[in-house]
């Protein structure tokens, strides 16, 4: 689920201001991902995993057993993005060349799948998303910093934005 509640003016482009996605994996694991970015609200960007042996608050770095007892809490700060840089530079200084390309590609595709599901209002699977040829912006036209942005407003100065349940083929090659 997702939509535009307050980011509705042309200055906001086509972006949604809230998403809620449930991913179910082949092994039965369920991940819930949600975000809301609306002024004067409780805004949350987080992921939670639910499995047969417990649950994990990924964003909080906490794992609970099936009875709700905390069994692990990270010792690190919640500054994970900065920590990734520290770890990368430390590895490089020690001659270790990490290769997280597959992990990065799969996590990015997972986010794209979720966005496509909220934009279309449909239940989608990995193959629906990975096999789609839909492009939301022709980034191949960008050859230099001075090039025009690939998504432009219409004649009224407004951006087209997704309406779940409508124009599905614009967002995914999906048999409705």
- H/E segment holding residue 47: strand 45-51
Q: Which residue has the higher pLDDT, 72 or 139?
A: 72
| pLDDT for 139 beyond 90 | no
* CB 36 within 8 Å of CB 15: no
Of 5-14, 31-40, 85-94, give the lowest mean pLDDT range: 5-14
How high does pLDDT run on average in the chain? 87
- H/E segment holding residue 71: strand 70-73
72-91 confidence digits (pLDDT tens): 998 876 566 788 889 999 99
pLDDT for residue 176: 45
143 falls in which pLDDT band (50, 70, 90)? confident
Write down the domain spans for the chain: 2-52+99-171
């Amino acid at each position: 689920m997702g939509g535009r509640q307050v980011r509705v003016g042309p200055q906001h482009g086509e972006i949604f201001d809230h998403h809620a996605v449930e991913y179910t994996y082949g092994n039965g694991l369920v991940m819930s991902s949600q975000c809301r970015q609306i002024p004067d609200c409780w805004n949350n960007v987080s992921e939670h995993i639910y499995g047969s042996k417990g649950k994990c608050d990924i964003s909080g770095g906490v794992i609970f057993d099936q009875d709700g007892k905390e069994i692990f809490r990270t010792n690190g700060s919640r500054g994970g993005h900065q920590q990734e840089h520290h770890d990368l530079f430390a590895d490089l200084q020690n001659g270790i060349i990490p290769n997280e390309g597959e992990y990065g590609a799969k996590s990015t595709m997972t986010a794209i799948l979720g966005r496509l599901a909220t934009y279309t209002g449909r239940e989608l699977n990995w193959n629906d998303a990975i096999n789609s040829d839909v492009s939301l912006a022709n980034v191949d036209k960008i050859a230099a910093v001075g090039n025009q942005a690939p998504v432009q407003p219409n004649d009224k100065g407004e951006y087209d934005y997704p309406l779940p349940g409508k124009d599905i083929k614009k967002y995914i090659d999906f048999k409705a």
